[in-house]
Amino acid sequence: MIDIKLIRENPGLIREATANKGRDPLLVTKAIESDEKKRELLQKVETLRAERNKLGKDDIERAKKIKAELASLEEALKLTSAELEDTLWKIPNPALPDVPVGKDESENIEIKKWGEPRKFNFEVKSHDFLGESLDLIDTQRAGKVSGTRFGYLKNEGVLFELGLLNLGLKFLIEKGFTPIFPPVLIQKEVMASLGYNNYGFEETYCLSEENLCLVATAEHAIVPYFKDETLLEKDLPKRFVGFSSAFRKEAGSYGKDTKGILRVHQFNKLEMVSFVKPEGSQKEHEFMLSIEEELMQKLNLPYHVMKMCTGDLGDPAAAKYDIEVWFPSEGKYRETHSTSNCTDYQARRLNIKYRKSDGGTDFIHILNGTVFSERPILAILENYQEEDGSVKVPEVLRDYLDKEKISPKS
């Protein structure tokens, strides 16, 4: 949720920012109208309360009239306040000034490229073919058990995932992050506060009878960790690295990536979350990106970094980077990592503040970023494949798998 003061002072700027994210700029107009009505009603309520407090014992009739008027005004104030809050929750977080304006992912900007895609002298195989042929991934049996967009990880596939988890966890702990295993079920109102469900829960698995939602990333349970708390400035930044299963309906991806486990309903993910002072959030964002890059360089996977345009940011993020890794079977880069600066948007909804050294308080800035999901495994299969159908193990993971190569089962 953005600050109503920001809307009052810069209505044109917020209308433009809202439109740049593909949302209706009339929401800003509606918020201004509700805010003005709320302040008008509040003034009337305060005036009547002040008059009531000055009445003597003999002013019985006037006291009755004031009571009736207050009841009506307070009900109107309650409804107007709810209307204002509902509108404010639908207004996205304005993008930072250096974010490119664009309508969708086609207008994202490449800002960096690392590594050269390997040149193969044989016909490359896809990650889904390699995963099945090496008995690392089984989507056919998962389909019988769970349906489409599910998969079993097996054999070295499991060791790959555990290796990535250990590699990432150790690396982040060395960087000063606190390890945490969060719950995968959170209250629906808490999920709503994160800002990803401003227009509904179509992409989210919810247990309506228990008012709980399954997280789509560990971030969803870590970001609210300090809900309704005020941290101390001297204790910032607070950094966490958390692991959990992630659950996504993928409702809008019909027909996309139907083979393998690139886009599934359930997967495991290691995520980082930072709570920082406002003036430090952009620097923290670059720090998170550098961590993601260093991890991909350890795996020696060619990638490029994309700066998201306004239309591809989503509602909570004010700025976002994606790392996309080269998939030779497709001849293109595919996303494996993202990192977002959500500024104070989520903190306002969750009421997470910090107390400054001068005694004042302010809302904290919150950032998140991918450490590892299962997608790098797929990139490894494609980029490290050999002509005989085997896959070499990246050097940094060999201790976890206790082998240098995965060969087809005889």
Q: Are 151 and 211 in contact (CB under 8 A)?
A: no
Peptide bond connecting 302 to the previous residue in cis, omega within 30 degrees of 0: no
Between strands 230-232 and 353-355, the pairing is parallel
Structure tokens at 340: 């977002």
For 280-316, how does the pLDDT look when each residue is reduced to its tens digit (9 = 90+)?
Answer: 999 999 999 999 999 999 999 999 999 999 999 999 9
- Which residues on adjacent β-strands are paired with residue 186? 213
User: Which percentage of the chain shows pLDDT scores above 70?
Assistant: 98
For 155-169, how does the pLDDT look when each residue is reduced to its tens digit (9 = 90+)?
Answer: 999 999 999 999 999
Q: Which residue has the higher pLDDT, 55 or 105?
A: 105
- Residue 260 in this model has a pLDDT that exceeds 90: no
CB neighbourhood size of 400 (10 A): 19
Q: Are 328 and 119 in contact (CB under 8 A)?
A: no
Q: Are 23 and 95 in contact (CB under 8 A)?
A: no
Is-same-fold flag (4-90; 105-406)? no
Question: What is the residue type of 6?
Answer: L
Residue 180 backbone class (left: φ over 0; alpha: ψ -120 to 50; beta: rest) = beta
Query: SS3 for 67?
Result: helix
Q: Is the domain covering 4-90 a CATH 1.10.1060 domain?
A: no
Chain centre distance of CA 225: 15
- Which residues on adjacent β-strands are paired with residue 112? 305
Q: Are 169 and 181 in contact (CB under 8 A)?
A: no
| Average pLDDT score over residue span 44-62 | 88
What is the pLDDT, as a whole number, of residue 58?
Answer: 81
For 9-18, how does the pLDDT look when each residue is reduced to its tens digit (9 = 90+)?
Answer: 999 999 999 9
What is the pLDDT, as a whole number, of residue 53?
Answer: 87
CA–CA distance, 97 with 328 (Å, rounded to integer)? 35
The ranges assigned to domains in the chain are 4-90, 105-406
For 105-132, how does the pLDDT look when each residue is reduced to its tens digit (9 = 90+)?
Answer: 999 999 999 999 999 999 999 999 999 9
What is the pLDDT, as a whole number, of residue 91?
Answer: 96
In eight-state DSSP terms, residue 15 is: H
Q: Which CATH architecture has domain 105-406?
A: 2-Layer Sandwich (3.30)
For 211-234, how does the pLDDT look when each residue is reduced to its tens digit (9 = 90+)?
Answer: 999 999 999 999 999 999 999 999
- Residue 338 in this model has a pLDDT that exceeds 80: yes
CA–CA distance, 7 with 13 (Å, rounded to integer)? 8
Q: Which residue has the higher pLDDT, 57 or 68?
A: 68
What is the pLDDT, as a whole number, of residue 146?
Answer: 93
| Average pLDDT score over residue span 57-83 | 91
What is the pLDDT, as a whole number, of residue 81?
Answer: 94
- Residue 252 in this model has a pLDDT that exceeds 80: no
What are the strands, taking DSSP E only, across 93-133? Answer: 109-114
Burial of 59 (0-12, 13-18, 19+ CB in 10 A): middle
- Residue 204 in this model has a pLDDT that exceeds 90: yes
